Amino acid sequence: DLIIRLKRNPLKRALRVDKMTLAALEATLKLYHSPEQLRQRLPTLRLLTRSVIDIQAVGQRIMPPLQVALGDRAHVNIAPCRSQIGSGSLPIERLPSACMAIVPTGKSSGRALKRLADAFRQLPVPVIGRIEDGALRFDLRCLEDEAGFVTQLSQLEW
């Protein structure tokens, strides 16, 4: 009865899925057979459920090498922020998080912020932040490769 109702629904054509989509959905759903391993095996779930304390700890570990890379041209600190979950299905939902806030020293901080943001985008693995309240901010919720981030700081040119 349900299959017949689905076949008659006008959304059936619009929402038709191919074999690859079904295979991906099946693989994802199979992960739920082992709920204790979900956070390890589903990166999105792992990052969405990351605690603020864990995120702040990441900031504490990367702050010293980041400050060294920036020298006396900027000051780095950890600040609270809110992570945007998504845009399509959850456009306004946000999670508590922590960010690295980088504030350039000197008078032309607006131009310095733009140059700094550009320099981070030019790294081998681009780092994308946002300029807000006079600081370049990097939300740390999704930073899992701390060593990779720190290693490429030697290539930062601004």
pLDDT tens, position by position, 29-75: 898 898 888 888 889 889 999 999 999 999 999 999 999 999 999 99
**How far apart are alpha carbons 49 and 33 in whole angstroms?**
19
* CA dist., res. 137 & res. 79, Å (int): 9
Residue tagged 């990779």 (tokens): 148
pLDDT of residue 156: 95
Distance CA 17, CA 87 (A): 22
The angle subtended at Cα 114 by Cα 120 and Cα 80, nearest 5°, is 70
Instruction: Take residue 44 and report the two structure tokens written for it.
Output: 């999105």
Low-confidence ranges of the chain (pLDDT < 70): 87-90
| pLDDT for the residue numbered 90 | 66
Q: Quick one: pLDDT at residue 83? A: 93
Q: What is the pTM of this model?
A: 0.78
Which has the closest alpha carbon to 113: 97, 91, 134, 83? 134
Q: What pLDDT, on the 0 to 100 scale, is given for residue 13?
A: 73
| Tokens at 118, concatenated | 């550009």
Would you state the pLDDT for residue 89? 66
Q: Residue 133, by phi and psi: left (phi above 0), alpha (psi -120 to 50) or beta?
A: left
Query: What pLDDT is recorded for position 80?
Result: 97
Are 131 and 114 a contacting pair, CB within 8 Å? yes
Q: What is the pLDDT of residue 143?
A: 96
